[in-house]
Chains A and B, each alone.
Chain A
Amino acid sequence: MKNKVFIFIGLCLFLFAFTAKEKALFEIPKSWPKPYYNFAKNKLTAEKILLGRVLFYDPILSRNNTVSCANCHSPYNAFTHVDHALSHGIDDRIGTRNSPALMNLAWHPSFMWDGAINHLDMQALAPISSHTEMDENFVKAVNKLQQQSKYKTLFYNAFADSMVTGERTLKALSQFMLTLVCANTKYDKVMRKEDSFTVQENNGYVLFKQHCAACHTEPLFTNLQFENNGLPIDTTLNDLGRMRISKLTKDSCKFKVPTLRNIEFSFPYMHDGRFKRLQEVLNHYTQGIHQTRTLAKPLQKPILLNTNQKVDLIAFLLTLSDKSFLFNPAFAYPKEALNK
């Protein structure tokens, strides 16, 4: 009997230690939905996350070793490419879209502005091989990694085997990206009753729920769907968004709804980065909506906001900034590991 008690206590301790460790690597913020990503197929470990982080910041994944993922997804800009309407990649080649901000990716069922990618693991393949982004053949990239002793060690630590494979490379990148959880904004603190909105922010929050939340749904501030938000087509790009993938006319000019978290830092805005300031974005929604057949339902009636209301709304949007996310040392350039 005594033995059984000991075994039971031991088991409890083991389980506790296990869950405590898991918790530290990835936590679902309180009252958030269940993540979409299947962690059972790619169990997080500190070693794999580190490997993913090193890969994310290493230009080795580009054709001439000049451009890393972080070039267009820099941490201080909420993992997007600040100040460029259209992101530029290798040899300063310019793409056709504004790089999306990376955060809370574990909850996303699809990736890219048009949802071309159906799984976080496979996402990195697109920018690595894109002519305007990193322009590298993935097989060559994997071979380059295999030749570096630094990566032999990192892969060995992560997978108990120094062999570099495509699967391992992609899964490690996923692991790092999965840890990019933004859930500590002033808004989150208010929701957790650790802080409170100013009168202005609160007015903004009421307006937000009334006019914006249908698509920018809390707590992720995106409904993860594709919507046409009434932007007139830029004829220099003729980007039809989701329709390129689904080939359905009902998807014409629909783009994935971006999160508004850290919007203060992720300018310029829209899939083609056409708006530099939040003021311009609000002006678009109040005066600039281009009526077409695929326009999002909530935008079909005009949104009326006076100048004061716009100021209030922006005050609320600024409560979605998370400095502890932007400056989280765990997300930053891995100096010790990468400069070896």
Chain B
Amino acid sequence: MNSLNNTAAINLLKLKYCCFIVWLISSFNSAAQQQSISIQSKLLYAKQVLKLNQWLYNSPHTDSIMLTNVQFYLSKIELLNNGKIVWQEPNSYHLLSADDSNSLRIQLSTPANIPFTSIRFHIGIDSVTNYAGAQGGDLDPTKGMYWTWQNGYINCKLEGKSTQCNTRYNEFTFHIGGYLFPDNALQTVNIPCNNTNTVDLNIDITKWFDGIDLSKQNHVMSPGQEAVLLANKLVTLFSIPQK
């Protein structure tokens, strides 16, 4: 009886051991099955790579513009396969700044061989996060993307100068944000892309100024209908270059 018990115990131990090995292998496997996909953003103005603090010329309009600051949040990144979400980045908040090239490259750590046909993300910060209190990383209020006189993240900052602006130092300032209905400025971009390890993303700032008369509209720094209308333009800035 006793020996029978012993054999049973040994068998159970063996089984446990086997299970452990299987688990170990599978965990190694899943570690190996991680993949890194990067989103490489490129800021453009008039088909050239955007340079801050330089006069830029947009030939069709022959406007001269200088951009001094371009910053925006890209959040809630998702990969979709024929319209179905196949992967979501956890804690997905990225502040992209024209003056920091590192910020323009976002590394996603996804399972390997994940099929996707499009990429979807928000421009800005969703209302739930706007209600969540103090947060760190790219959401830290010291990043300068948070309004202080009332609540809310600034989804996008575009600052610069234009000779069209009859303002102090010819400056224009667009701080676009707002999370409260009906002035929610959050935008969603969904663009088809190839299933590659690097997704190139063009962000054409020229399009921001399409249809804006800078002599009349040059300062938007609070949530409201004007900010929402401008925020709608943001979606048109994003595209994936055809190869």
Contact = CB atoms under 8 A, between A and B. Distances in A.
Interface of A: 38, 41-42, 116-122, 125-126, 128-130, 138-139, 142, 165-168, 170-171, 174, 245-247
Given A142-B142, A166-B142, A170-B141, A119 B132 contact: yes
Contacts of B136: 165-168
A94 B167 CA distance: 28
A117 B151 contact: yes
Contacts of B148: 125-126, 128-130, 138
Nearest to A119: B133
Given A122-B151, A130-B149, A245-B150, A42 B144 contact: no
Contacts of A165: 136, 140, 142
Contacts of A174: 133-134
Q: Is the interface of B mostly helix, strand, loop or mixed?
A: loop
10 contacts: A116-B151, A117-B151, A118-B131, A119-B131, A125-B141, A125-B148, A126-B148, A129-B148, A138-B142, A170-B133
Contacts of A138: 141-142, 148
A129 B131 CA distance: 20
Contacts of B111: none
Which of B134, B136, B142, B143: most chain A CB closer than 10 A? B134
A167 B150 CA distance: 17
A126 B149 contact: yes
A122 B149 contact: no
A337 B63 CA distance: 58
A171 B134 CA distance: 6
A117 B150 contact: yes
Which of A118, A168, A171: most chain B CB closer than 10 A? A118
A120 B135 CA distance: 12
B142 A122 contact: no
Which of B131, B135, B142, B149: most chain A CB closer than 10 A? B142
B134 A121 contact: yes
B118 interface: no
Contacts of A247: 183, 224
B229 to A, nearest CB: 15
Contacts of A246: 180
A275 B90 CA distance: 52
Nearest to B183: A247
Contacts of A117: 150-151
Contacts of A171: 133-134
B128 to A, nearest CB: 11
Contact of A170 (B134, B150, B180): B134
Contacts of B224: 247
B131 A166 contact: no
B45 interface: no
Contacts of B133: 38, 41-42, 119-122, 170-171, 174
B142 A118 contact: no
Interface string B138-166: 01111110101111000000000000000
A142 B143 CA distance: 11
A120 B146 CA distance: 15
Nearest to A164: B142
In the complex, the 8 A-B pairs of residues with the closest C-beta atoms, listed nearest first: A121-B133, A121-B134, A166-B142, A170-B134, A116-B150, A167-B136, A129-B148, A119-B133
Interface in B38-75: none
A116 B143 CA distance: 21
Contact of A41 (B132, B141, B142): B132
B149 A167 contact: no
Contacts of A166: 134, 136, 140-143
Nearest to B150: A116
Interface string B202-243: 000000000000000000000010000000000000000000
